[in-house]
Amino acid sequence: MSAHAAQQTVSQIQKDQKVLKEHRKNGRKTGRLKWQGAGEFRSVAYQSEGFNVNHTTGHDFGTLTLSKIGEIPIRAHRDLPNTENIKRAILKKERTGAWFACFVVEVESPAKPDSEDIDSADCIGVDLGVLSYIHTSEDLSVECLHLESEYDQYVREQRALDRTEHGSENWENQRQNVARAKRQIRWKVLDFQHKLSTWLVKAYDVVAVEDLDVKSMLETSQSAKNKQDAAWSRFLDMLEYKGELHGTHVVRVDARGTTKECNQCGVETSKPLWVREHSCPACGHTEDRDLNAAKNILDRGLNKLSLQVGPGRSESTPVQTVLPAFAHHSGRMDAKHVVEAGSPAA
Boundary residue ending a domain (105, 123, 152):
105
Percent of the chain with pLDDT over 90: 20
Residues 75 and 187 in one domain: no
Residue 102: Cβ-neighbour burial (10 angstroms; 0-12, 13-18, 19+): exposed
259 — pLDDT class (breaks 50, 70, 90) = confident
Q: DSSP letter string over 142-157?
A: EEPP--HHHHHHHHHH
Residues 173 and 290 in one domain: yes
Residues 89 and 119 in one domain: no
Residues 254 and 138 in one domain: yes
Position 279 in a domain: yes
Among 60-74, 95-109, 320-334, the range scoring the smallest mean pLDDT is: 320-334
Residues 48 and 127 in one domain: no
Q: Is residue 306 scored above 90 in pLDDT?
A: no
Position 345 in a domain: no
Mean pLDDT calculated for residue range 88-109: 87
pTM, rounded to two decimals: 0.74
Tell me how crowded residue 176 is: count the other CB atoms within 10 A of its CB.
17
Highest-confidence range of 114-128, 231-245, 302-316, by mean pLDDT? 231-245
Rg (CA), the chain: 24
Residue 346 to residue 343: CA distance in whole angstroms: 9
Among 2-11, 18-27, 125-134, 219-228, the range scoring the smallest mean pLDDT is: 219-228
Residue 294 to residue 208: CA distance in whole angstroms: 9
Sequence-distant (6+) residues with CB within 8 A of 42 are 92, 93, 94, 95
Q: How many residues does the chain have?
A: 346
Rounded to an integer, what is the distance from CA 292 to the centroid of its chain?
Answer: 25
pLDDT digits (tens, 9 = 90+) for 175-200: 999 999 999 998 899 999 999 999 99
Domain total of the chain: 2
Position 275 in a domain: yes
For the annotated catalytic residues, the residue numbers are 127, 210, 290
Domain that holds residue 7: 3-105
Q: DSSP letter string over 63-98?
A: EEEETTTEEEEEE-SSPPPPGGGEEEEEEEE-TTS-
- Beta bridge partners, 188, equal none
Q: Is residue 130 scored above 80 in pLDDT?
A: no
Residue 270 to residue 257: CA distance in whole angstroms: 9
Nearest residue to 338 via CA among 231, 240, 199, 241: 199
Q: Is residue 320 scored above 50 in pLDDT?
A: no
What pLDDT score does 308 carry? 53
Residues 92 and 126 in one domain: no
What pLDDT score does 198 carry? 92
What pLDDT score does 226 carry? 52
Q: Is residue 312 scored above 60 in pLDDT?
A: no
Boundary residue ending a domain (105, 132, 149):
105
Residues 129 and 163 in one domain: yes
Boundary residue ending a domain (85, 105, 125):
105
Nearest residue to 247 via CA among 193, 301, 203, 181: 203
Mean pLDDT calculated for residue range 9-28: 89
Residues 97 and 120 in one domain: no
Residues 64 and 171 in one domain: no
pLDDT digits (tens, 9 = 90+) for 47-66: 877 888 887 666 678 888 88
Position 110 in a domain: no
What pLDDT score does 335 carry? 59
Among 112-126, 181-195, 264-278, the range scoring the smallest mean pLDDT is: 264-278
Position 21 in a domain: yes
Among 207-216, 248-257, 285-294, the range scoring the smallest mean pLDDT is: 207-216
Mean pLDDT calculated for residue range 99-108: 88
- Beta bridge partners, 135, equal 127, 141
- Beta bridge partners, 124, equal 207
Percent of the chain with pLDDT over 70: 81
Residues 303 and 327 in one domain: yes
Q: Is residue 340 scored above 80 in pLDDT?
A: no
Residues 137 and 86 in one domain: no
Residues 186 and 88 in one domain: no
